[in-house]
């Protein structure tokens, strides 16, 4: 249950290691070394993000949202990968960067620039462990709640964030809760693109002397068609590949990007806007239809509901 990120990054590690082995056996020894390092980093992230371990502090994100130099150097293949993918996804997405759920409460994706931030000098609750706080937001009140993608903050962390956000609302300041993408399709795009690459590498059996040109062609196609076209094209390719197409991955594994939604659900309950987190989820979905929470998010909210200390504020 809930192994989406671990599976995806583990698949990425396997693909990168396969590419390393292929390049090395083809005589590109120096060129293969970065792929080996990237595969080892991906394998480490995959393990740390597994629900049984769940160690977001591995990336070393500071309470002020910055990353130490050692983390940027050590985990650069992963950190810059997610930033690059986030930028590409935003180019294709037609969804607003944030949505106002009720007066003064906003939920959305990572604010990569000032125009992606809600108006009114909002206090920011950052639910990511992989994306940095932009320097131009240093003047905003900020709370870092480091959580892996598709994972849920612990109930105690949700309670802490709710109390912090309630204090900001008492000061009449808007609150913006964000994660990375705020919906599940980003994981699906990445899943299909990686499976597409596996098919290219192993099923189509590209001749070695044509491999690099095919690799660059593959990369260009997926960058240009990132979005629904990637899913459709990958699905067609996978369905025609017996070794992979016969083993489809369940999409429920990749329901996610609900970190911010889980925190917002708890906040809506604490502020008395919703009776419980289930009604809060419905309210958020009415405003932002593409949000999703997986089983881990719902379990965390259920635990928070049972043991929370912050009383609801009735309107």
CB atoms within 10 A of CB 295: 13
Tell me the pTM. Answer: 0.80
Give the pLDDT score at 63.
Answer: 97
**Chain centroid offset of residue 306 CA:** 27
Q: In terms of C-beta density within 10 A (0-12 exposed, 13-18 middle, 19 or more buried), how is residue 84 classed?
A: exposed
Give the pLDDT score at 90.
Answer: 74
Give the pLDDT score at 241.
Answer: 39
Coil, helix or strand at residue 246: coil
Give the pLDDT score at 256.
Answer: 42
Give the pLDDT score at 201.
Answer: 55
Coil, helix or strand at residue 93: coil
Coil, helix or strand at residue 11: helix
Distance CA 86, CA 134 (A): 14
Q: Please name each of the domains of the chain with its CATH number.
A: 4-61+184-251 (no CATH), 97-183+255-307 (3.90.190.10)
Give the pLDDT score at 94.
Answer: 72
Per-residue pLDDT 10s for the chain (315 aa) are 445 788 889 989 999 999 999 999 999 999 999 999 999 999 999 999 999 999 999 999 999 999 999 999 999 999 999 998 887 777 777 778 999 999 999 999 999 999 999 999 999 999 999 999 999 998 999 999 999 998 999 999 999 999 999 999 999 999 999 998 744 444 555 555 555 655 555 545 555 555 555 555 544 554 444 444 433 443 443 344 333 333 344 443 344 458 999 999 999 999 999 999 999 999 999 999 988 899 999 999 999 999 886 667 765
**What are the phi and psi torsion angles at 108 (to 5°)?**
180, -160
**Chain centroid offset of residue 284 CA:** 19
**What are the phi and psi torsion angles at 193 (to 5°)?**
-65, -40
Residues paired with residue 98 on neighbouring β-strands, in sequence order: 108
């Amino acid at each position: 249950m809930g192994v989406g990120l671990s599976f995806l990054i583990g698949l990425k590690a396997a693909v990168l290691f396969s590419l390393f082995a292929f390049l090395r056996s083809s005589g590109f020894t120096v060129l293969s070394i970065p792929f080996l390092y990237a595969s080892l980093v991906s394998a480490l992230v995959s393990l740390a993000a597994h629900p049984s371990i769940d160690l977001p502090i591995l990336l070393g994100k500071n309470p002020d949202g910055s990353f130490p130099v050692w983390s940027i150097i050590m985990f650069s293949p992963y950190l810059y990968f997610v930033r690059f993918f986030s930028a590409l996804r935003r180019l294709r997405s037609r969804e607003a960067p944030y949505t106002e759920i009720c007066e003064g409460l906003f939920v959305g994706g990572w604010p990569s620039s000032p125009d992606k931030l809600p108006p009114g000098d909002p206090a920011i609750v950052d639910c990511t462990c992989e994306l940095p706080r932009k320097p131009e937001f240093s003047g905003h009140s900020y709370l870092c709640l480091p959580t892996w993608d598709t994972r849920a903050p612990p109930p105690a962390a949700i309670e802490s964030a709710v109390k912090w956000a309630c204090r900001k609302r008492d000061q009449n300041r808007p609150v913006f809760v964000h994660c990375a993408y705020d919906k599940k399709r980003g994981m699906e795009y990445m899943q299909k693109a990686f499976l597409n690459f596996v098919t290219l590498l192993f099923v189509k059996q590209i001749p070695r002397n044509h491999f690099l040109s095919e690799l660059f062609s593959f990369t260009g196609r997926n960058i240009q068609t990132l979005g629904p076209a990637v899913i459709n094209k990958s699905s067609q390719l996978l369905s025609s590949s017996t070794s992979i197409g016969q083993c489809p991955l369940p999409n429920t594994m990749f329901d996610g990007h609900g970190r911010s939604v889980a925190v917002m659900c708890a906040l809506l309950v604490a502020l008395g806007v919703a009776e419980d987190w289930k009604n809060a989820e419905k309210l958020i979905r009415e405003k932002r239809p593409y949000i999703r929470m997986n089983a881990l998010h719902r379990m965390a909210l259920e635990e928070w509901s049972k043991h929370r200390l912050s009383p609801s504020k009735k309107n």
